[in-house]
Amino acid sequence: MTTYFSYPSESMQQELRRIANAIVMPGKGILAADESTGTMGKRLTAINLENTEENRRKYRQLLFTSDKELGNYISGVILFHETLYQKTDDGRPFVDLIKQMGIIPGIKVDKGVVPLMGSEGESTTQGLDDLSQRCAQYKKDGCDFAKWRCVLKIGKNTPSYQGMLENANVLARYASICQMNGLVPIVEPEVLMDGSHDLDRAQKVTETVLAFVYKALNDHHVFLEGTLLKPNMVLAGQECPTKYTPQQAAEATVLALSRTVPAAVPGICFLSGGQSEEEATVHLDAINKTTVGRKPWSLTFSYGRALQASAIKAWKGTDVKAGQAELMKRARANGMAALGKYAAGSCSGAAGEAGLFVKNHQY
């Protein structure tokens, strides 16, 4: 009955474990550089650059021609499909540059959100069709992990049972297919920061969502030791009148995770959501410092905006060295935060304290 099943073979288990553990090594985290074409367009527009394939290539070239030191803080980078097949000016494939820095390439495999009929504005994420063949190809082409983002929103009546059940299930299907093809699945059930709810509600929603996720992963016999979780930190809504300290956010986050994430999961790589670069670093540091609950998994970062805002701003399309310097600075800061050793305010970026919140964030 439901208790007859197999886990991946021993050699597959070892491969998946190896990759997952390498990604969450102490002091390292992920650079999420998988912005879709449309989203990358918004980033480029903000610095008055046209959204062309060449500009996107040049920007990613800035990231991947960074000094080798970047590999001291960044263990993995998530790529968008196009980027995986792009090259430097002198013809070197990006994926090779990444690997030469000792960084593991990963790939975003979902195909965006679609609405759930009958729900109050809820969605699920599509991309399962032919996913197995796609994963097999990505593995051949040098990727070792994948990422799939689901989105849940806190409202008066949401997330609903339908929303949580469906998103948890699609994440489990994605994870299962990835593992079949030797890719470590990063499971991302993002609870958006949109709204005026307080920290307590954010915590309860996150706990409930994560309970659905881990039940679904168990139902689909996903090998937890070969997965990673990319959750939101537990934060009050953007419009919540009460402001909370990093310590309060850290406690709420760690409690929520300790109540739902099994110890077998090697690590948790937080998304930054709408936080500024400094907020994201300070929160990660507080999470690593807090003793409010047991933390048997690594607690690190998988940041997009919160690692790149200053880099893009300093680059402006022309100043590669300045952009790379900003990236290195912030990567170093987050590496320290992942060890609970960051001194708040010690890393000031070109993007300043600007919040990076985008309402109803889509890719």
Which residues form the interface with a copy of itself (CB under 8 A)?
Answer: 1-5, 154, 157-161, 164, 201, 204-205, 207-208, 211-212, 214-215, 218-219, 224-225, 255, 257-264, 293-297
| Identified catalytic residue from 166, 188, 251, 277 | 188
Q: How far is the CB of 342 from a copy of itself (least distance, A)?
A: 24
In this structure, what token pair is assigned to residue 215?
């039940």
Q: Work out how close the CB of 164 gets to a copy of itself at its nearest, in angstroms, rounded to a whole number.
A: 7
What letter represents residue 52's amino acid?
Answer: T
Task: Name the residue nearer to a copy of itself (CB basis): 38 or 296.
Answer: 296
Distance CA 356, CA 206 (A): 21
- SS3 assignment, position 228: strand
The DSSP 8-state label assigned to residue 147 in this structure reads E
Cβ closest to a copy of itself, residue 116 vs residue 255: 255
Q: The dihedral of CA 10, 14, 15, 21: what is its sign?
A: positive
Secondary structure letter of residue 226 according to DSSP: G
Which among 359, 338, 292 has a CA at the least distance from the CA of 121? Answer: 359
Rounded to whole angstroms, what are the CA distances from 317 to 47, 51, 174, 329, 358?
8, 11, 36, 19, 23
Helix or strand (DSSP H, E) at 231: none
Sequence-separated (6 or more) residues with CB below 8 Å from residue 156: none
CB of 303 to a copy of itself, least distance (A): 24
The least distance separating a copy of itself from the CB of residue 259, rounded to whole angstroms, comes to: 4
Which residue is catalytic, options 28, 58, 230, 329? Answer: 230
139 is catalytic: no
**Minimum CB separation from a copy of itself for residue 218, in Å?**
4
The one-character DSSP state at 316 is T
- Of the pair 115, 296, the CB lying nearest a copy of itself is at 296
Q: Which is nearer to a copy of itself, 93 or 340 (CB)?
A: 340
The structure tokens listed for 26 are 């102490």
Q: What is the DSSP string of 72-123?
A: GTEEEEEE-HHHHT-B-TTS-BHHHHHHHTT-EEEEE----EEEPTTSSS-E
Nearer to a copy of itself, 92 or 215 (CB): 215
Residue from 115, 121, 120, 126 nearest 149 by CA:
126
Of 125, 122, 123, which is closest to residue 110 (Cα–Cα)? 125
Cα angle 186-187-190, degrees, rounded to a multiple of 5: 125
Sequence-separated (6 or more) residues with CB below 8 Å from residue 211: 260
SS3 label, residue 209: helix
Examine the residue annotation and report whether 225 is marked as an active-site residue of this protein.
no
Q: Which is nearer to a copy of itself, 47 or 255 (CB)?
A: 255
Kindly tell me the burial class for residue 247, based on how many C-beta atoms sit within 10 Å of its own C-beta (0-12, 13-18, 19 or more): middle
Work out how close the CB of 141 gets to a copy of itself at its nearest, in angstroms, rounded to a whole number: 31
Cβ of residue 52: shortest distance to a copy of itself, in angstroms?
43
Q: Which is nearer to a copy of itself, 6 or 48 (CB)?
A: 6
Residue 268's DSSP bridge partners are 229, 299
Enzyme catalytic residues: 188, 230
